[in-house]
Amino acid sequence: MSTFIDKQTRLVIQGITGRDGSFHAKQMIEYGTQVVAGVTPGKGGQKFENAVPVFNTVADAVAATNANASVIYVPAAVAASAIFEAADAGIGLIVCITEGIPVLDMTRVLPFVHERGARLIGPNCPGLISPGKSKVGIIPGNICKAGRIGVVSRSGTLTYEIIHQLSTQGLGQSTCVGIGGDPLIGTNFIDCLAAFQADAETDAIVMIGEIGGTDEQQAAEFAQREVRKPIVGFIAGQTAPPGRRMGHAGAIISGSSGTAAEKMAAFAKAGIAVMKRPADVVPLLKEKLC
């Protein structure tokens, strides 16, 4: 088994006829993901690429196709609503790629998703991939390689960089999860560490954090208590000035809290091997796995 997604994942794409949605729908289908439906209000009854049925609502898509996961590519202004809709339709795994959802909207979305028993990944994330099995989101499939390393990250392209280092040096991945760069997200580091600990196909974990918040610090404490697999960690933003939002809405040092130094110290204290630079990932993993 892999983490969160596998060959049984039946995916509905919200925003399948849009610019980003259609591009990535093709990529996911090509990768082998079971894309069973698309949703664009007003385009119900059409077929995407002459193959994937399009519905007006997620509820219609679920009723007709038994979709159990959704990925969201709609614009920020309607993305919160798209998450509500997916959760209301009984979707169990909701992956929101969209960047720019107001954080106050997320304060209402998250309890709703939680009450309906759904898992939200993101928003503002690249999604996830279990190499060779399924891909939900935008992580380029060609840089990944099937294997036994679990990767969890708050970033997009930095994750690709790390995956690239792993794949080209012979370490494949069980699942790579981009949890998103926003301050309020549905799935955090602890959720992913717990999933990787429970996954029989994962031997070691790479955690890629960044400045802002305390998610990494809490995850480090959790790892020390609960995770028996080796972990290697990286924190981006050692040179970031305080009080400035570094691209990601969540990447901001508030006052003296959320610095890279504080997070790296928490990692080290919990026995997580701390990378000084992305190129350290493979040597550190090999050290830990020996």
Partner 1 sequence: MNLHEYQARDILRRHGIPVPPGEVATTAGEARAIAERFGGKVVVKAQVHAGGRGKAGGVKLAKTAAEAEAHAKAILGMTIKGLTVQRVLVAPSAEIASESYVGIIVDRASQRPVLMVSPAGGIDIEEVAAKTPEQIHRLAVDPRYGLLAHQALMLGFALYNDVKQARAAADIMQKLYGAVYAVGASLAEINPLVTTPDGAVQALDAKIAIDDNELERRPDIAALRDESAEAPAEVAAREAGLTFIKLEGSVGCCVNGAGLAMATMDLVKYYGGEPANFLDIGGSSNPQKVVAALRIITSDPQVKVILFNIFGGITRGDDVANGIVQATREFALKVPMVIRLTGTNEQLGVEILRKAGLSALTDMDEAVKRAVAVLKGTAA
**Per-residue interface string for the shown chain with partner 1, residues 117-136, x marking contact by CB under 8 A:** ---------x----------
In angstroms, what is the minimal distance from the CB of 40 to partner 1?
20
Residue 24 is a catalytic residue = no
**Residue among 278, 283, 286, 289 that touches partner 1 (CB under 8 A):** 278
Nearest CA to 212 out of 155, 263, 159, 272 is that of: 263
Q: How many residues bind partner 1 (CB under 8 A)?
A: 60
In angstroms, what is the minimal distance from the CB of 18 to partner 1?
13
Task: Judge contact between 193 and 2, C-beta under 8 A.
Answer: no
**Residue among 45, 225, 241, 290 that touches partner 1 (CB under 8 A):** 241
In angstroms, what is the minimal distance from the CB of 222 to partner 1?
13
221 lies in the site for partner 1, by CB under 8 A: no
85 lies in the site for partner 1, by CB under 8 A: no
247 lies in the site for partner 1, by CB under 8 A: yes
Task: Judge contact between 182 and 150, C-beta under 8 A.
Answer: no
In angstroms, what is the minimal distance from the CB of 177 to partner 1?
14
Question: Of 33-72, which residues contact partner 1 (CB under 8 A)?
Answer: none
Question: Of 138-177, which residues contact partner 1 (CB under 8 A)?
Answer: 138-140, 143, 153-161, 164
**Residue among 16, 61, 87, 101 that touches partner 1 (CB under 8 A):** 101
Q: Which residues bind partner 1 (CB under 8 A)?
A: 76-77, 100-104, 106-108, 110-111, 126, 138-140, 143, 153-161, 164, 181, 183-184, 208, 210-215, 218, 234, 236-241, 244-251, 255-256, 260, 276-279
Which residues are known to be catalytic?
248
